[in-house]
Amino acid sequence: MKYMVPDKLRFKAEYMALTFLLASNSISTVIYIILNRFSDLLGIDIPIWVSIPFEINVAEIELSLQEPLIELQSDKIMRGKFKDGKYNIWKTNDVATKYPLFWDKAQFYVIAFPTSYLVEAGFSRVSQILSKACNRLDIVKRGDLRLSLTSIEPNIKKLVEKDQPQGSH
């Protein structure tokens, strides 16, 4: 009976060591998967003015963006919106209309990182489209999913200008 205590201690130590090894292997595997799956997003170099437009020194950014940045930093409404939700200012139509140069450059960075709400809304919309009530209609024929999820108004004039008229046959 007196020999069981060291065996239990050795078993417990081996169990803890094995558990630690498995956990560290699992964590390493998860890190590897994340790094591979999101390598394109991890490689994006987001300009500092996208992350903290109200705290950056104007002299630190490229010359063409300095004047619009001064205007943006002076806009008290935008400053309040930024403090409320950080990147939400980039997802409003206000920025696109008031600061088109900023929006043209910032939209590529902002669109790469959807909010959890947007992801949930996307799942909900797909679920609605593919429900029995919609009679299993093809998701492509139900309209562009992105249009039902975005709050950004399309620039119809710009889209029409890009469209090339087709000649008759």
The string of pLDDT tens digits covering residues 63-115 is: 888 888 899 889 888 888 777 665 567 766 778 788 888 888 887 777 766 66
Q: Measuring CA to CA, how many Å separate 47 from each of 14, 44, 147?
A: 49, 9, 27
Residues 30 and 67 in one domain: no
Tell me, yes or no, whether 168 lies in a domain: no
Residues 93 and 140 in one domain: no
Tell me, yes or no, whether 134 lies in a domain: yes
Tell me, yes or no, whether 167 lies in a domain: no
pLDDT band at 1 (very low <50, low <70, confident <90, very high): very low
Tell me, yes or no, whether 141 lies in a domain: yes
Lowest mean pLDDT among 47-56, 72-81, 122-131: 122-131
Spell out the long-range contacts of 55-58 with Cβ–Cβ below 8 A and sequence spacing 24 or more: none
What pLDDT shows up at residue 137? 55
Tell me, yes or no, whether 6 lies in a domain: no
Look at the chain and report how many structural domains it folds into: 3
Tell me, yes or no, whether 153 lies in a domain: yes
Lowest mean pLDDT among 9-23, 55-69, 86-100: 86-100
Lowest mean pLDDT among 24-33, 95-104, 105-114, 132-141: 132-141
Task: Give the separation between CA 35 and CA 30, rounded to whole angstroms.
Answer: 9
Residues 106 and 123 in one domain: no
Residues 57 and 103 in one domain: yes
Residues 62 and 84 in one domain: yes
Residues 22 and 35 in one domain: yes
Q: Which residue has the higher pLDDT, 49 or 152?
A: 49
Angle between helix 63-74 and 76-85 (nearest 10)? 90
- Total-model pTM: 0.48
Tell me, yes or no, whether 166 lies in a domain: no
Domain range enclosing 127: 116-160
Residues 65 and 100 in one domain: yes
**148 pLDDT exceeds 70?**
no
Residues 132 and 102 in one domain: no
Average pLDDT over residues 31-42: 78
